[in-house]
A and B are shown apart, each in its own frame.
Chain A
Amino acid sequence: MESLWLSMKLAASVAAILLAVGTPVACWLAYSNWRWKFLLESVVALPLVLPPTVLGFYALLAMGPRGPLGKLWIALFGHGLAFTFGGLILASVLYSFPFAVQPLVASFGAVDRRLLDASAVLGAGGVRTFLRVILPLSLPGVVTAAVLSFAHTLGEFGVALMVGGNLAGVTRTVSIDIYDHVQSLEYGAANRMALILLAISFAVLSVVYAVNRRAWTPWTAK
C-alpha cells in the first residue's frame, strides 16, 4: 500500500502545481488575440498525443547530470533530479499539463465577454475581474482541471518508469507496483490495487461530470 500512498501524494502535488501554473497560461490562451497563439496551444496539447515514453525520455535527458535541468538542480540542491520524487513531480506536471489547461481555457472562454466589459466599465482591473467574475463563474472548469490532472497523474505509467525508475517509497507508483506484481505472478495483490485504482478513477470522473452539469453551482436558481 506504500505505492498507493505515494501515487496519491504525487497526484495531489501535481494537481496543486498545475492549478497554480495552468491558470495564468489558460487565462492567456483564453483571452489573447495574438496571431501565433495556435503554436502555444499545440505545445500545450502535445502530451495528449506523445507516447509517455517519448516525453519521459526527453525529461530524463534534461534531468540527468549532464542535462540543463539536472545541472541546475545539482547546483541548487547538491543532488540530481532524475530518479527522485521531485523529478517525478516535474515530469508528471508536463505530462498532465493539457488535462489542467484545456478545461480551464474552455471555462474561461465560456464566460460572457460582456460580463468582463461590465467589470471593466465599473472600474475593475484585470486581476479583480479575474478573481470576482471569471474565477467564480469558471468553478466547474477549475474543479474539472484539478480532478482530471489528479486522476491522470494517478494512472500514469510510462513517464513514471522512465524518469522515476522503480525505487520503493520514492518513485514506485501504484501503476508500476501493479506491473511488478503481475511480472512476479502475484495476481491477487495486483488485482487489489487495480480495483482500488478503478474505483478511484470512477469516483473522480463522476465528480467531473456532476460538476459540469451545473447541478451544484452556487448561482443556480432553486
Chain B
Amino acid sequence: MDGEVNPSMLLARIRKERYGARPSSFILNVSIEVPPGITILFGASGAGKSTLLDCLAGLVRPDDGQITVGDEVFFDSARGIYLPTPKRRIAYVFQTLALFPHLSAEENIAYGLSDLQEQEIRERVTSILNLFRVEKLRKQKPTQVSGGERQRIALARSLVTEPRVLLLDEPLTGLDAELKSAIVDDLRAWNAAKRIPILYVTHSREEVDALGERVITLDSGRVVSAGLPTDVLNAPRRKKLAQAAGFENLLSASVLDLRETDGVMRVRLLESACEIEVPLGYATPGTVVQVAVRAGDILLATERPRGLSARNLLEGRIMSLEQRGTMVIARVDCGPTFLVHITPGAVRALELTAGRRVWLVLKTHSCHLVD
C-alpha cells in the first residue's frame, strides 16, 4: 500500500491505559491501517479488540494517538482534536447488537436517518429491509424475532446510514452454520458494492476464511501480526493465539537435535518417549519448546502405515470418541493425549471404538512452534 493514497483508508495509532479491577493495568498500544474491504481483528478474549473498536468509534477516549479516515481527523492528541461519536459517521454492530427494544425493526433501522426527508427515509429503509430479507418483519419488535433475524436487523440498521467505516464485534456469534453463511454472503455482497474499511472481530476460523481479506492479530493490547489470513493464522507465534486460532493440541517438547540442512529438528514430547520432527526454530538442544498441532491436521490409521511422506508416526490408543455436530473428536493416548478430528463416516468405516490401537500421522509442517 506504500505510496498509494487511498481516500478512505482508516489509520489509527492508539494508546489507552485502563486501570481495571484486575491487579495489572491493561495497556492498548497499537498502530493499524485498514484499507477498504474486510479486515479481520483476531485475538483471544481480553486482547483489547473491543477497546480498540470503542476507541475508533469515539466511545472511549484514547490517552494518546491519532485516528484518521481518508483526510478526516477523528482524533489527534497532539492537536487536541476529538470528534464526538455522533459526528464520525461510523457504523458499529455490537456483540450484543443493542437493538432498541421499544422500537420496531423499521424504527430501529430508521433511527440513524433522522436528518433525511421522510420520503427518502422510507425508500432507504425498504431497500435495506429487502437486501437483508427481513421485509416481513418491519413492524416486529426485536423480542419478537429470532436470533438470526435480530442480527440481520442490526446489520441493516448500521449499513443503512452509509457509514464511512464499519466496525463489527462478533456479530454472528451463536448462529448456526447455515444462517451464518447466508449473512456472510450478504455482507460480502455489500462489501463488494461499497468498499469501505470494515473491521470485523471474530474468534471463528470459518468466518476468517469466508470473509477475511486481511487479518490483524492482537495479544495483550498489541498487534502481533498483520497480513493475509493464511500467512498470519497458520503459523501462530504465540500460545494464546494458537489456542484462539483453533490449535487444539499444545504440547511441550524438549529439543533433541537440529538438522539445519533439512530445515527441521527432532524433539521429544515431555513425559513420553514420543519423538517427532518439527520445523527448525530458534532453539538449542535441551531447551523446551511449545508445539501446536491442529486436531484437523492429524491423520488416524488403524494399521501401521507404510510408504508415507509424513515423518511423524505415533502409536496410541483411543480413549474416547465424542460426536460434535458433523465431526467426531477422538482423544488418543500416545503418552501425551492428542485430540484428533475425524468424520463420523471414518469412525464407521474404520470401526473405531474406545480402547482401539491406532497410529497418528503428523506432517512436519503441521507442527507449529509457538512462543
Contact = CB atoms under 8 A, between A and B. Distances in A.
A118 B86 contact: no
Contact of A123 (B86, B100, B101): B86
The secondary structure that dominates the B interface is loop
A132 B141 contact: no
Given A121-B90, A122-B157, A114 B98 contact: yes
B96 A114 contact: yes
A128 B86 CA distance: 11
Contacts, number: 68
Contact of B89 (A123, A132, A133): A123
Interface in B108-150: 111-112, 114-115, 141, 143-144
A117 B98 contact: yes
A219 B98 contact: no
A125 interface: yes
Contacts of A115: 98, 100
A123 B114 contact: yes
Contacts of B85: 117, 120-121
B221 to A, nearest CB: 21
B209 to A, nearest CB: 28
A120 B59 contact: yes
Given A122-B161, A123-B161, A125-B86, A218 B59 contact: no
B102 interface: yes
Given A112-B98, A137-B101, A219-B101, A121 B141 contact: no
A124 B87 CA distance: 9
B112 A114 contact: no
A68 interface: no
Greatest chain B CB density within 10 A among A118, A132, A136, A217 is at A118
Q: What size tier do the contact residues of chain A reach?
A: 20 to 34
Interface in B186-245: none
Contacts of A114: 94, 96, 98
B115 A123 contact: yes
A91 B92 CA distance: 48
Q: Which of A122, A136, A217 has the most CB of B within 10 A?
A: A122
Given A120-B85, A218-B102, A132 B143 contact: no
Given A119-B111, A121-B59, 7 more contacts: A114-B96, A117-B92, A120-B84, A124-B86, A124-B114, A136-B102, A217-B102
Interface of B: 57-59, 84-92, 94, 96, 98-102, 111-112, 114-115, 141, 143-144, 157-158, 161
25 contacts: A114-B96, A114-B98, A117-B85, A117-B94, A118-B92, A118-B94, A119-B100, A120-B59, A120-B85, A121-B57, A121-B86, A121-B90, A121-B91, A122-B112, A123-B89, A123-B112, A123-B115, A123-B161, A125-B86, A137-B101, A217-B102, A219-B102, A219-B141, A221-B141, A221-B144
